[in-house]
Amino acid sequence: MMSFYKQKFTAILLMLVVSLSAQSQDKGLTPADKSKIDVLLKSMTLEEKIGQLSLFTSDWDVTGPSLNGNYKKLIKNGSVGAIFNAYTVDYVRELQRMAVEESRLKIPLIFGYDVIHGHRTIFPIPLAQACSWDMAAIEQSERIAAQEATAEGLNWTFAPMVDIARDPRWGRVAEGAGEDTWLGCKVAAARVRGFEGTDLKATNTMIACVKHFAAYGAAQAGRDYHTVDMSMLSLYEWYLPPYKAAVDAGVGSAMTSFNEIAGVPSTANRWLLTDLLRKDWGFKGFVVTDYTSINEMVNHGNAADNKDAARLAINAGVDMDMQGSTYLDYLAPLLEEKKVNLSDIDQSVRWILEAKAKLGLFDDPYRYCSKERQEKEVMTPEQQLFARKFVAESCVLLKNPGQLLPIPGNIKKIAVIGPLGDSKKDMLGNWSAAGNWEKCVTLVEGLNNRPGKQYEVVYEKGCNVTDADRSGFDAAIKLASTADYVILALGENGWMSGEASSRSNIDIPGVQNELAEAIVKTGKPVAVALFNGRPLAISQLNSLPVAILETWFGGTQAGNGIADVLFGDVNPSGKLTMTFPLNLGQVPVFYNSKNTGRPYNPADPGAKYVSRYLDCSNDPLYPFGYGLSYTTFSYSALESIVDGGKIKVSISVTNTGNRDGEEVVQLYVRDKVGSITRPVKELKGFRKVLIKKGETRSLEFNLTTDDLAFYHPDLKKYWEPGEFTVFVGGNSAETMAKTIEVK
Ligand code: BGC
């Protein structure tokens, strides 16, 4: 029985938490702002209200089908609340001028854009960033992105994308943090903090938009825009928490997803948008659709026509229609027919006007239009330096036989071979905002840029990324034979991941594997730099005696950062946040799966009636959390002490190699018996630490029983007493383990 004082204390604490989270949601909205909005709302015509609920692209950038080319006329009419794909001070100023000087009520516009991994300075793709396990760096990259974007007129980004994804066929895995929910929550919060800062009225912060709500990452068969269907338990346990983490971090807007949930498209899903997001989670920003996702409900088959779709969306809780024009065209007649409520329209307008007030746009609509800032705060040397370090930190060393890497200092001639060795365009990856590919540093350039270099760099493409043309093989082999060391630059084109970029075959495309085999035959030492936006099936390449460095798409500073790792100026410390399968047939394969009733037992490999494949192992090629260093680490002295509701786990990690290095020490837990079956392992903590050569560091993790909680059929989250295994290690497969009892 809880004591009276304890109960009272808990109640006060709860009130404090609720009010703190309400404050973080309010983001600087003052009572004066609120009364100004009341007055404004009273003076608005229905058409002007509906205008605030409409978002159109300026057509500067194409991110979907174009439906409405007359956005300038609409702005002057007061029929637009926000514009996206328009940036640079002059252009934004001109459009804003139309809104605040030519429209009747002079309500300023919000300017949105997909600032996904940088604005002008492009950072590694989000999946790569997550592999750094460096939350401070992730936050800082968004801080810089916001600084650059707001210096060019923008004040709203369509990020973070926090969709948990377990299927690498889906091209959009590149935009998220990978397969793990716990880590996904940390990354989501860091990104929101980075974009929004602590003060949205500061001119270098912007409203973030958590997307795609919800569960877009679970598209069937990894095909983009495809159906999502899962149990409520899976939705709550694995897919929803990162969106919630973004809401708790105070995210100012949320975007609906293209997919359906339990047969209802997200954009029409009142349970999702109103009951869960607004009522349960207390979200106080505005909800925008994804690109024409209201109209797409006709194709989904839950709306008869666009008008019907608009009705469903507004009644579900969608505040702003992105590019679909359905609110503009149909909300007025729907109101007349009493199919929608004026109070819902008013509430949506209020959320959007509040966002404008939070940004300070009513005080000064041109506050993001500073030419001086545009000149001074974009692509600065400090930003480039940070980007370069972030590239190096996001690389994951997958394989390094015979210490092929780092490249020895006495090398005189390096041959870079492969279609991605000198391709500036590909370095940006997908969603590169206003990034200029011409400013990207390729691998060849990065190798040449090293100060005081004593080696020559030569380059041959060898083949293209996707086709079967082998005519360049001979020249590549010839050149490789003249070098002391070969770097193969292989992988996907930048456009092969991201939206609408699903693949049914996740091998390294084209004839690149063959090229690799031919180059290895030269007998030269070979390291592979892999460029890709998703885990690939690389078993064939992996079987060769080569080192493999996963470099993803590093953005503007790609080549410099990769060269830093290849030469050992930076000791790699990245760890995969998405499993690399042995082959496509294993997909979806992720570390936190269930055990099944007939688990495969490696001690009895011939057993037939167990959960296994006849033709390959259940184990992936590289598991979640995996990544090598140029040094080695050993783990010892795992201890776990349970004291009431607290669990203290300690471990010693020794750097057993001969250089300093950073290690991501990971803590996993398995709940051995649950009324709802539990995964074989769940990440519950990590520490990224620098350990000097020869040094041993003792680390401690402190969990509470809250960390053991999971969702039950009533969708309540609580823990169950019993036995747990705690695991600590350098990846999800190689760990030390200890069983504890928590009562
Ligand atoms: C994408 C969103 C993006 C939007 C605006 C859509 O097609 O799904 O992620 O924010 O376009 O460009």
From CA 367, how far away is CA 10, in angstroms rounded? 43
Atom of ligand 1 nearest to the CA of 209: 10
The pLDDT of residue 370: 97
Question: For 89-115, how does the pLDDT look when each residue is reduced to its tens digit (9 = 90+)?
Answer: 999 999 999 999 999 999 999 999 999
Query: Which tokens in the block code for residue 180?
Result: 């793990």
From CA 290, how far away is CA 285, in angstroms rounded? 16
Note if the bond before 226 is cis, omega within 30 degrees.
no
Question: Final residue of a domain: which of 374, 400, 426?
Answer: 374
Mean pLDDT over residues 534-553, rounded? 98
Of 535, 678, 699, whose CA–CA distance to 595 is shortest? 678
HSE-CB for 293 with a 13 A CA cutoff:
28
Q: For 151-279, where are the E strands, in sequence order?
A: 156-157, 209-213, 253-256, 260-261, 264-265
The pLDDT of residue 65: 57
For 37, 406, 417, 521, the CA distances from 457, given in Å and listed in that order, are 62, 16, 11, 20
Query: Which tokens in the block code for residue 578?
Result: 């998405």
Give domain status of residue 204, yes or no: yes
Among 111, 290, 292, 295, the mutation site with the greatest number of ligand 1 atoms within 8 A of its Cβ is: 290
CB 300 within 8 A of CB 269: no
Residue with tokens 């060769």: 544
Mark whether 368 and 435 lie in a shared domain. no
CB 458 within 8 A of CB 444: no
The pLDDT of residue 328: 96
Mark whether 409 and 360 lie in a shared domain. no
Residue 380: burial class (beta carbons within 10 Å; 0-12, 13-18, 19+): middle
- Three-state secondary structure call for residue 237: helix
Looking at the DSSP bridge assignments, the partners of residue 549 are: 397, 529
Give domain status of residue 32, yes or no: no
CB 555 within 8 A of CB 394: no
Residue 172 Cβ inside 6 Å of ligand 1? The answer reads no
Mark whether 324 and 413 lie in a shared domain. no
* Bridge pairing between strands 722-729 and 321-322: unpaired
Atom of ligand 1 nearest to the CA of 61: 12
The pLDDT of residue 353: 98
The pLDDT of residue 24: 53
pLDDT above 50 (res 3): no
Residue with tokens 């709860």: 14
Query: Which tokens in the block code for residue 624?
Result: 């979640």
Spacing of C-alpha 395 from chain mean position: 16
From CA 200, how far away is CA 249, in angstroms rounded? 13
Higher pLDDT, 26 or 420: 420
Of 475, 403, 465, 353, whose CA–CA distance to 43 is shortest? 353
Of 201, 108, 116, whose CA–CA distance to 158 is shortest? 116
Residue 472 Cβ inside 6 Å of ligand 1? The answer reads no
Phi, psi of 425, deg, nearest 5: -55, -40
What average pLDDT does the chain have? Answer: 95
Give domain status of residue 3, yes or no: no
Residue nearest to atom 8 of ligand 1 (CA): 290
Ligand 1 centroid to residue 211 C-alpha, Å: 9
CB 76 within 8 A of CB 98: yes
Residue 64 Cβ inside 6 Å of ligand 1? The answer reads yes
From CA 226, how far away is CA 217, in angstroms rounded? 10
Give domain status of residue 545, yes or no: yes
Question: For 711-734, how does the pLDDT look when each residue is reduced to its tens digit (9 = 90+)?
Answer: 999 999 999 999 999 999 999 999
Ligand 1 centroid to residue 63 C-alpha, Å: 6
For 599, 600, 709, the CA distances from 595, given in Å and listed in that order, are 6, 9, 19
The pLDDT of residue 488: 99
Mark whether 264 and 246 lie in a shared domain. yes
Looking at the DSSP bridge assignments, the partners of residue 156 are: 112, 207
Mean pLDDT over residues 413-434, rounded? 97
The pLDDT of residue 70: 82
Of 372, 19, 36, whose CA–CA distance to 203 is shortest? 372
From CA 140, how far away is CA 601, in angstroms rounded? 44
Count how many domains the chain has: 3
Residue nearest to atom 6 of ligand 1 (CA): 291
In the chain, the amino acid numbered 229 is: D
pLDDT above 70 (res 662): yes
For 300, 560, 563, the CA distances from 557, given in Å and listed in that order, are 42, 6, 10
pLDDT above 80 (res 11): no
Residue 158 Cβ inside 6 Å of ligand 1? The answer reads yes
- Three-state secondary structure call for residue 225: coil
CATH code of the domain covering residue 704 = 2.60.40.10
Ligand 1 centroid to residue 552 C-alpha, Å: 21
Of 126, 120, 118, 123, whose CA–CA distance to 145 is shortest? 118
pLDDT above 90 (res 607): yes
Q: Which residue among the candidates 167, 248, 290, 671 is catalytic per the annotation?
A: 290
Spacing of C-alpha 413 from chain mean position: 38
Question: Final residue of a domain: which of 539, 566, 593?
Answer: 566
Question: Final residue of a domain: which of 566, 597, 616?
Answer: 566
Of 645, 654, 712, whose CA–CA distance to 678 is shortest? 712
Give domain status of residue 425, yes or no: yes
Q: How confident is the model at residue 71 (pLDDT cuts 50, 70, 90)?
A: confident
Of 321, 370, 374, 388, whose CA–CA distance to 141 is shortest? 388
Residue with tokens 């439906």: 67
Mark whether 263 and 411 lie in a shared domain. no
In the chain, the amino acid numbered 596 is: T
Ligand 1 centroid to residue 295 C-alpha, Å: 15
Give domain status of residue 697, yes or no: yes
From CA 321, how far away is CA 293, in angstroms rounded? 8
Residue nearest to atom 4 of ligand 1 (CA): 291
Residue 722 Cβ inside 6 Å of ligand 1? The answer reads no
pLDDT above 70 (res 371): yes
Give the sign of the dihedral formed by CA 390, CA 24, CA 111, CA 239.
positive
Residue 291 Cβ inside 6 Å of ligand 1? The answer reads yes
Give domain status of residue 239, yes or no: yes
Ligand 1 centroid to residue 255 C-alpha, Å: 9
Among 62, 291, 320, 497, the mutation site with the greatest number of ligand 1 atoms within 8 A of its Cβ is: 291
User: Residue 507 catalytic?
Assistant: no
From CA 115, how far away is CA 119, in angstroms rounded? 5
Residue 650 Cβ inside 6 Å of ligand 1? The answer reads no
From CA 657, how far away is CA 674, in angstroms rounded? 41
Phi, psi of 7, deg, nearest 5: -60, -45
From CA 380, how far away is CA 44, in angstroms rounded? 43
CB 336 within 8 A of CB 71: no
Mark whether 163 and 106 lie in a shared domain. yes
Among 55, 87, 158, 323, the mutation site with the greatest number of ligand 1 atoms within 8 A of its Cβ is: 158
The pLDDT of residue 365: 98
pLDDT above 70 (res 293): yes
Question: For 120-130, how does the pLDDT look when each residue is reduced to its tens digit (9 = 90+)?
Answer: 999 999 999 99
Note if the bond before 516 is cis, omega within 30 degrees.
no
Atom of ligand 1 nearest to the CA of 211: 9
The pLDDT of residue 69: 64
Mark whether 545 and 448 lie in a shared domain. yes
Mark whether 456 and 531 lie in a shared domain. yes
In the chain, the amino acid numbered 481 is: S
Residue 114 Cβ inside 6 Å of ligand 1? The answer reads yes
Ligand 1 centroid to residue 437 C-alpha, Å: 21
Among 63, 293, 296, the mutation site with the greatest number of ligand 1 atoms within 8 A of its Cβ is: 63
The pLDDT of residue 60: 77
Running DSSP on this structure, what letter comes out for residue 302? Answer: S
Range of lowest pLDDT (64-68, 193-197, 388-392, 527-531): 64-68
Note if the bond before 160 is cis, omega within 30 degrees.
yes
pLDDT above 90 (res 335): yes
- Three-state secondary structure call for residue 541: helix
Residue 296 Cβ inside 6 Å of ligand 1? The answer reads no
For 275, 424, 483, the CA distances from 341, given in Å and listed in that order, are 17, 52, 73
Question: For 18-70, how does the pLDDT look when each residue is reduced to its tens digit (9 = 90+)?
Answer: 444 444 557 789 999 999 999 999 999 999 999 999 999 987 776 665 555 68
Phi, psi of 719, deg, nearest 5: -100, 160
Task: Compute, in degrees rounded to 10, the torsion defined by CA atoms 279, 718, 24, 138.
Answer: -120
CATH code of the domain covering residue 503 = 3.40.50.1700
Running DSSP on this structure, what letter comes out for residue 584? Answer: G
Atom of ligand 1 nearest to the CA of 159: 10
CATH code of the domain covering residue 138 = 3.20.20.300
The pLDDT of residue 20: 47
Residue 478 CB contacts under 8 Å (≥ 6 apart), including other chains: none
Give domain status of residue 625, yes or no: no
Mark whether 368 and 386 lie in a shared domain. no
Mark whether 108 and 237 lie in a shared domain. yes
Mark whether 256 and 279 lie in a shared domain. yes
Looking at the DSSP bridge assignments, the partners of residue 212 are: none
The pLDDT of residue 27: 75
What are the counts of helices (DSSP H) followed by strands (DSSP E) for the chain? 23, 25
For 502, 632, 640, 699, the CA distances from 696, given in Å and listed in that order, are 44, 12, 19, 10
Residue 663 CB contacts under 8 Å (≥ 6 apart), including other chains: 573, 629, 633, 653, 655, 688, 689, 691, 730
The pLDDT of residue 18: 44
The pLDDT of residue 4: 39
Phi, psi of 16, deg, nearest 5: -65, -45
* Residue range of the domain that includes 698: 633-742
Residue 35: burial class (beta carbons within 10 Å; 0-12, 13-18, 19+): exposed
The pLDDT of residue 17: 47
Atom of ligand 1 nearest to the CA of 212: 9
Q: Where are the alpha helices (DSSP H) in 395-495?
A: 424-427, 443-449, 473-481
CB 285 within 8 A of CB 254: yes
Residue 539 Cβ inside 6 Å of ligand 1? The answer reads no
Mark whether 654 and 554 lie in a shared domain. no
